[in-house]
Amino acid sequence: MTKSILEEIEETRKKNLISIIEYARWEAEMVRGLGVKWFEMRDRWLIEAFERVREMWRDHKIRETEIKAILAKDRVKYMRLKRMEKEQ
């Protein structure tokens, strides 16, 4: 038996919430263990990651591929929404 789209959405939201809570717990442990040093390390990692992504987006082939992937994902979401509207 297939799940309805609403059940799938609810399940996905629950998984996302659980993931957010687990990450918050982990980050709290890091702060408790490392204090201010944790924020300095995290900020450095975020800046380095941002720089790498910015450098990657300068390559037009990568940029075009990413844009196509985003558009494809949006089309799938739109189609699922339309299917959900028909079910109601």
The tens digit of pLDDT for each residue in 35-72 reads 999 999 999 999 999 999 999 989 999 999 999 999 99
**Geometric angle at alpha carbon 28, from 26 and 34, rounded to 5°:** 100
Same domain, 31 and 67: no
**Geometric angle at alpha carbon 69, from 19 and 56, rounded to 5°:** 85
Domain membership flag for residue 51: no
Question: Is the pLDDT confidence value at 1 over 60?
Answer: no
Provide the number of structural domains found in the chain.
2
When pLDDT is cut at 50, 70 and 90, the band that residue 2 belongs to is low
Q: Are 63 and 57 in contact (CB under 8 A)?
A: yes
Same domain, 8 and 40: yes
Query: What is the domain extent for residue 76?
Result: 58-88
Domain membership flag for residue 24: yes
Out of 2-6, 20-24, 75-79, give the one with best mean pLDDT. 20-24
Same domain, 38 and 11: yes
pLDDT (0 to 100) of residue 31: 96
Domain membership flag for residue 16: yes
Tokens 């992937």 correspond to: 69
pLDDT (0 to 100) of residue 48: 98
Domain membership flag for residue 72: yes
Average pLDDT over residues 10-32: 95
Domain membership flag for residue 49: no
